Amino acid sequence: MQATVDSPLGKITLTEQDGALIALCFTPDAPDRMPETPLLSLAAAQLTEYFSGARHSFDLPLHPQGTAFQQQVWSALRDIPYGQTLSYAQLAARLHRPRACRAVGGANGKNPLPILIPCHRVIGADGGLGGYSCGIEKKRFLLALEQNAMK
Amino acid at 49: E
Tell me the pLDDT tens digit for each residue of 8-66: 999 999 999 999 999 999 998 888 888 889 999 999 999 999 999 999 999 999 999 99
Report yes or no: 40 and 15 within 8 Å, Cβ to Cβ.
no
- Helix, strand or coil for residue 22? strand
Q: What is the reported pLDDT for 43? A: 97
| 134 counts as catalytic | no
Amino acid at 34: M
How far is residue 120's CA from residue 143's CA, in Å, rounded to a whole number? 7
Output the pTM of the full model.
0.93
Report yes or no: 23 and 15 within 8 Å, Cβ to Cβ.
yes
Report yes or no: 115 and 47 within 8 Å, Cβ to Cβ.
yes
Domain edges within the chain: 2-52, 68-150
How far is residue 51's CA from residue 44's CA, in Å, rounded to a whole number? 11
Out of 22-26, 77-81, 131-135, which region has the weakest mean confidence (pLDDT)? 131-135
Tell me which architecture the domain covering 68-150 has in CATH: Orthogonal Bundle (1.10)
pLDDT band at 115 (very low <50, low <70, confident <90, very high): very high
Q: Which of 25, 101, 119, 134 is an active site residue?
A: 119
Amino acid at 147: Q
